[in-house]
Amino acid sequence: MASMGRMIAQRLLLGLLTLFVVSILIFLAVNALPGDFAQAILGQSATPEAVEAIRRGLGLDQPLVTRYFQWLWRLLHGDLGVSFAQANFAAYVGSASSAEAITVADQIAPRFRNTLFLAGVTAAIAVPLSVSLGILAALYRGSIFDRGVNIAALTAISSPEFFLAYILILFLGVLNPVLPSLSNIYEGMSFGERLLKTLLPALTLTLVVTAHMMRMTRAAIINLLASPYIEMARLKGMSPLRVIVRHALPNALAPIINVIAINLAYLVTGVVVVEVVFVYPGIGQLFVDSVKIRDIPVVQACCLVFAAAYILMNLLADILSILSNPRLRHPK
C-alpha cells in the first residue's frame, strides 16, 4: 500500500511539473499572437497616448518575464485575472468610471459547466456504446459485423469534426427536424430542454471518440483470447460471451481505461470546433471569441483549463490502471 501511495505521489508531482512547463508555453504562445489589444479595442483612429494609457493600465508595457511571474503568482492564489474585453477602459483614458471589470473566473465558470455537461452527455453515450461494440467485434471477429463496425469506425474517425457536425445537422436538423441544430442553452433551462439541445453536438463527439475506444477494447480482448486461462474457461463449457465478459474483459481493463480517459480528456479539450459549429456556449466557444479580440487573460485561462483537464485525466488513467492490475498494485 505504501508503494501504491508513492507511485500516486510521483505521478501527482509529475503532473504539477508538466502543468508548470505548459503554463510557460501557454504564456509565450498567447503573447506571441499578432496584433495589439489596445489598438484593436480603440480602432485605427486612436491616438498613441490613448493606446499607451490602456497598455499601461493593463500592464502590457511591462517585460514579458515580469508579466509571467505576476500571472503565475495570481494563479497560485486562485486569481485568473480580469478580462481585457470587460475592463473599465474609461478610467485608463481619463474619463469617468462606467462599469466594474468582470473577472476571467466569472466568464469561464458558467462556460466550463456547459462544456462539462456536454462532455458528460457524450461520455454517457460513447463509453457504453464503444465498449459494447468492442466486445461484440471481438466475439464475432472476422464476421460481417466486425468488418462493418470497423469500417464505420474508421470512416467516423477519418472525417473532420465539422464535416460530421454539418452532416448531422442536415439529416437530423433540416431534412428530418428531430433535434435542434443550434444549442442555444442558457441559465435556468430545465434539464430535459438542456439535454435536448445538447444531443446533436454530443452525437457528433460520440462519432469522433467511439472509434478509438471501440478498437482498443476489441484489440485488448483479442490479445487475451489465446491465453491459457481463456482456453481453460472454454474447455469448461462456458459460452463465448461469458468467457469474454467474465475472464478477458477484467484483464484487459488497463489499456481500455487509458484510451477512455484520453478520449474523455478530448471531450473537454477538443470541443472547440463542435462548439463553434453548434454555437454552444462552452469554454471552446469562449476561447475562439477571445482569440479574435486578443483578450489575453481569457485565452491564457482557457488554455490552462484545457491543459489541466488533459493532465488530470491522464493522471486518473494511470491511477485506475494501477488499481485494476494486481501486478502493479503489488510490485515485487
On whether the CB atoms of residues 108 and 86 are closer than 8 A, the answer is no
Q: How many CB atoms lie within 10 A of CB 239?
A: 12
Considering the domain architecture, whether residues 64 and 116 belong to the same structural domain is answered as no
Cell 504564456: give the residue.
Answer: 27
Total structural domains within the chain: 2
**Does residue 62 sit within a domain?**
yes
Considering the domain architecture, whether residues 310 and 325 belong to the same structural domain is answered as yes
Instruction: Find how far residue 315's CA is from the centre of its chain.
Output: 14
**Does residue 1 sit within a domain?**
no
pLDDT at position 251: 78
**Does residue 18 sit within a domain?**
no
The domain boundary residue, chosen from 102, 119, 134: 102
Q: Which of 29, 37, 75 is nearest to 301 (CA)?
A: 75
Burial 146-162 (b: 16+ CB within 10 A, else e): beebbeebeebeeeebe
Considering the domain architecture, whether residues 61 and 127 belong to the same structural domain is answered as no
Considering the domain architecture, whether residues 159 and 288 belong to the same structural domain is answered as yes
DSSP for 270-308, written as a single string:
S-HHHHHHTT--SHHHHHHHHHHTT-HHHHHHHHHHHHH
Considering the domain architecture, whether residues 70 and 193 belong to the same structural domain is answered as no
Q: How many CB atoms lie within 10 A of CB 107?
A: 23
Considering the domain architecture, whether residues 65 and 131 belong to the same structural domain is answered as no
pLDDT at position 144: 92
Considering the domain architecture, whether residues 65 and 122 belong to the same structural domain is answered as no
Considering the domain architecture, whether residues 90 and 178 belong to the same structural domain is answered as no
**Does residue 252 sit within a domain?**
yes
Domain that holds residue 52: 33-102
User: pLDDT 10s digit of each residue in the chain, 332 long?
Assistant: 566 677 778 888 888 898 889 889 988 888 777 766 666 666 666 677 777 777 777 677 788 888 888 888 888 888 888 877 766 554 444 444 444 567 888 889 899 999 999 999 999 999 999 989 988 888 888 889 989 988 888 888 888 888 888 999 999 888 888 888 888 888 888 888 899 999 999 999 998 888 888 988 888 888 887 778 888 878 888 888 888 878 777 777 778 888 888 888 888 877 888 988 998 999 988 888 888 877 888 888 998 888 888 888 888 887 777 777 666 566 55
**Does residue 218 sit within a domain?**
yes
The domain boundary residue, chosen from 80, 102, 124: 102
Distance between CA atoms of residues 120 and 130, nearest Å: 15
**Does residue 14 sit within a domain?**
no
Q: Which helix (H) or strand (E) holds 39?
A: helix 37-42
Considering the domain architecture, whether residues 180 and 294 belong to the same structural domain is answered as yes
Q: Position 319: which residue type? A: I
pLDDT at position 267: 84
Considering the domain architecture, whether residues 115 and 90 belong to the same structural domain is answered as no
pLDDT at position 88: 52
The domain boundary residue, chosen from 75, 102, 129: 102
Distance between CA atoms of residues 281 and 114, nearest Å: 7
**Does residue 224 sit within a domain?**
yes
Cell of residue 184, nine digits = 442555444
**Does residue 316 sit within a domain?**
yes
pLDDT at position 91: 46
| SS3 state of residue 159 | coil
Considering the domain architecture, whether residues 228 and 263 belong to the same structural domain is answered as yes
Q: For residue 140, give the CATH number of its domain.
A: 1.10.3720.10
Which residues is 103 bridged to in the sheet? 82
Considering the domain architecture, whether residues 70 and 215 belong to the same structural domain is answered as no
